[in-house]
Amino acid sequence: MPHRFKAILFDLDGTIIDSAGDLQTTMNLILGQENRRQISLDEMKACTGDGLQMMLDKAYRLTGSPIDAADIAALMPRFLSVYEGIEAKPECIYPDMAEFLRTEFVGGTKMAVITNKHEGAARRILKQVKLDKFFEVVIGGDTLPQRKPHPMPILHALHELKISQDDAVMIGDSPNDALSAQDAGIPSIILRYGYNHDWPDGLKPTAYANHVQECRVALQLI
């Protein structure tokens, strides 16, 4: 049964792809150069979701004394340079997600990626795993002055897609996705398999899904 939405907006990390392993490899190389301890995969997941600056800040706090904003800013290009050299593999796509995207694309649903990852990195990864053709719009954490949980990335994507708020839904895995959708005036579906962080009291998505197949059902019900 088809759903009512003309556009679906997706988070990237923890929703479409599991990038934690590649991020961990990159982060540990950077930390090793600074004579800091390596971080675990779970620690890496806990650091993601708020953009590169916050990710570096969290990783450095986990592995020793924090560093100031100027040092983090200087680290960002180095991190991106290392990360760019790691090619994303199709195996990082969550089960059934590629087929879900293909079905929606063939059915005429407009789709966008809204991530706090740098836009260039997001576009590179989508191209490497051959998912880029499905998305008309890609908005990263550095595309606009604001990033999730601010609603502006969603509102900007809808403007670019020429779709109203009444006809769009956000699919993600974190409080940032749910809050951004809530403040933009659109429903959200949260996938439980992602990098879910602690949820603020009172924040509830429109629906939860344990896997992509449940998203199909949720889209029909909300």
**Residue 98, class by beta-carbon neighbours within 10 Å (0-12 exposed, 13-18 middle, 19+ buried)?**
middle
Catalytic residues: 11
The runs of H, that is alpha helices, within the chain are 20-33, 41-47, 52-62, 69-84, 97-106, 119-128, 152-161, 175-184, 212-221
What is the phi-psi region of residue 185: left when phi exceeds 0, alpha when psi lies from -120 to 50, beta otherwise? left
What b/e readout covers 168-190, taking b as 16+ CB neighbours within 10 angstroms?
Answer: bbbbbbbbbbbbbbbebebbbbb
- Strands of the sheet with 110-114, listed across from one edge: 137-139, 110-114, 7-10, 168-172, 188-191, 207-209
| Residue in the block written with tokens 């991106």 | 80
